[in-house]
Chain A
């Protein structure tokens, strides 16, 4: 598939009054297009099946005692009173796990993490003991009866001081370790970048902090473990975005044979990266079931979710940008300090310890770029990849889009004009971004101009000028992002040595209905609908006749799961290819049925027919029946219409978009209101526009959250200040506008159907547009920078000329 020559653009703002094709039997739509979701009938009746809905006979309940302090040695733990309480079956501590070799387990980044503390606590909220009781109330009660004697240690909280010689040592259990350094990573060309900066007309420096935030899906993490001591089978119901990867890692960790482990991820109540990691609670549920011989359920509460599971970001970025006087970009430097918390629990591909921060040059041409990321340990919860970020793409995109605006201020140039002047041109693709990635396709200027037109950019600037004349604070913020999603080519990308490919299996039943089995797991993305549409597009069977099976390791082929917007780029490619394989087989059978040669047949959606004689043909349903029937099949053709593939993508897919945000700031309070948000996305071929729009809306709301209210802060003692929804604020319907979305279509040239990932585009692109808008609103007051979240107090400080507090 090649890039379309003619611009294909559109917008989709507001209600859909069109006829719903799915409800009309006569229409029986096939393939791509707006289609109601197949998952909805169960959800709107309250018939979803989430982990906490699972009840097994004799099931017990677990609860975790967590450390109230950030850094302390454990002197003693007394569980006797808890054990004596009614309904308590067992209390497990780190000492009990040591002989099982389960007190520490591997992280997804070749570090280790503690399951239950054996030596010292390394972050507030860390797991100290596990109680198993008859019901959840009894388990919770028993936590109160466990006596722990802590010897306090000075906490390591400020990442900027983590490499000081006198910094408290977080990981003293690691032999020979004397500091909190984790790793350094570099990309680009330092010498060439230095040379460019030395000769540039204009150089601007800016510190940009992307604070710690949390995915906070509405469903917290949990598991039900059911170990059968007779057969040795472990069934684990789990909130997992990657059930196959979890099974392999659990086999390695627990020493259980992989074929005896069955992981079921039922309906997942949102993930956003939060459900990629393997948490101590999952391991404890398994241990609990082995110890008690009964199924054990563990569901964390909201504070446990916010305080202990995978956070995101925490990048302190020093930026420098070099340009000519007239606004031609020359060079870009990024020097980043990454706070990974107490364990390196990120889930990046092995060769990418800073994820895909390689995308920091953004959507522009540069003479040279250089990026460097240094990661450190602190006494905070581990994690670092989560929250719809496509492996640090969010940080990279936010960085470059803030830097571009900072340069526009310096040059007194319109930020839209500065971007248009420096975009990678359509004919330059595939484009080497000078930091290690080859962008596959893009029509940046077309997309930008479409967004400017939808936003009414010139009118907005006129309105802003009028308001400024009246002393009102109105901002117009722009972000133009490029993200690389769909990890990845397996020779370059793996997690714990597992190549990032995905399998798919397709069976056409004798009656022409189909089942497709996929390795990725939906957390709300509508895989049951969109993957059926991919099969439908390729083979002509209506989506309603195609069952999508996912989230169950015994019923699906191996693959690495859903995160980093990889479902459509990787698993979607697998599904398209497996369907083509079936179609090719159907051609052989159809030729035999029609007593002709396969090369004399032509395909139209749902049917092979004889070239030049459209009346002589066989539908896929007829072929399916014949494949399972009594006719003599061609040599080498099995009696079924099934196939399987594993898809190894040749490259990432590079989705992009142009976002415009209009804000108004209350001069009396510093409160920011997002009045309008125009998002134009290009995710290549569009499978289901309704689902795409939903993905974009959700990501934009995440962006408003991060830009204006969400932050996980710590006080100097290491107390987490964002441990409940009273402190960790998430946008409600009152804080977000009615989104205005548009699209352009630039198919990925290497993806089987030309699709690119869309799940995280808006989360990646929107924060910079909002913050740039806030800064733009505050320009008359001399403000050139502000860090997220732009809360009223921080905006007020900026309005008074005070620096905002570092985060």
Chain B
């Protein structure tokens, strides 16, 4: 079947098998390997991307379901060379170790902050509770998202200067 969608602001179209999962479409058809795959059961959330601004687990979304919609992946967080505050926060607060869950965590964080710019710690923990990180113990991820909430403008400025 033929699908057309916007991925990180660019329109893409491909002919695919109807059963192709969005995660495989992104990774294998488009070569966007920043989105990872970690389980078969929608439990781990390493595959989280944004679909029309909402975090979804791309291992449980068919590429066909994204037809006509807008997808944002980790490759689209770094817009025009300027790091998203969430990306900066993850570096400053050591919110990542092996880096495998990180793209999904950051996309959830970005969606959270878009909706709720000043989340409480509990709201942050709830937002990422559908995702597993095996390395960090979550506290530094929470701090990273808090950092992003506190530094929206400064972060952008800092990178622009460098």
Contacts and interface: CB of A to CB of B under 8 A. Distances in A.
A805 interface: no
Nearest to A727: B41
B94 A45 contact: no
A690 interface: yes
Contacts of B119: none
Given A46-B34, A697-B137, A738-B121, A732 B98 contact: no
A693 B95 CA distance: 11
A14 B143 CA distance: 8
Give the dominant DSSP class at A's interface.
loop
A540 to B, nearest CB: 25
Interface in B80-96: 83, 87, 90-94, 96
Contacts of A690: 94
B99 interface: yes
A118 B78 CA distance: 51
A187 B92 CA distance: 47
Contact of B38 (A219, A523, A525): A219
Contact of A733 (B35, B41, B83, B141): B141
A523 B98 contact: yes
Given A15-B146, A37-B91, A734-B125, A44 B140 contact: no
B129 A44 contact: no
B11 interface: no
Nearest to B138: A733
A50 B36 CA distance: 9
A303 B39 CA distance: 8
A15 B143 contact: yes
Interface in A85-128: none
B134 A218 contact: yes
Interface stretch (A248-256, A266-274, A641-649): A266-274
A680 B143 CA distance: 20
A41 interface: yes
Given A40-B96, A46-B75, A272 B136 contact: no
B129 A734 contact: yes
Interface string A189-219: 0000000000000000000000000001111
B47 to A, nearest CB: 11
A690 B97 CA distance: 11
A524 interface: yes
A804 interface: no
A158 to B, nearest CB: 29
Contacts of B78: 44-45
Contacts of A46: 32-35, 73-75, 77, 103
A77 interface: no
Contact of B98 (A45, A55, A268): A268
Interface string B21-51: 0001001000111111111110110100000
Interface string A43-74: 11111101011010000000000000000000
Contact of B97 (A220, A525, A739): A525
Contacts of A302: 38-41, 44
A44 B134 contact: no
Contacts of A137: 17, 19-20
A267 B138 CA distance: 21
A61 to B, nearest CB: 10
B43 A725 contact: yes
30 contacts: A40-B96, A44-B74, A44-B83, A45-B78, A45-B87, A46-B33, A46-B74, A46-B103, A48-B100, A136-B24, A217-B100, A218-B46, A219-B38, A267-B99, A268-B98, A302-B38, A694-B94, A697-B136, A697-B139, A701-B136, A701-B137, A702-B134, A724-B41, A726-B41, A730-B134, A732-B128, A733-B124, A734-B125, A734-B126, A738-B142
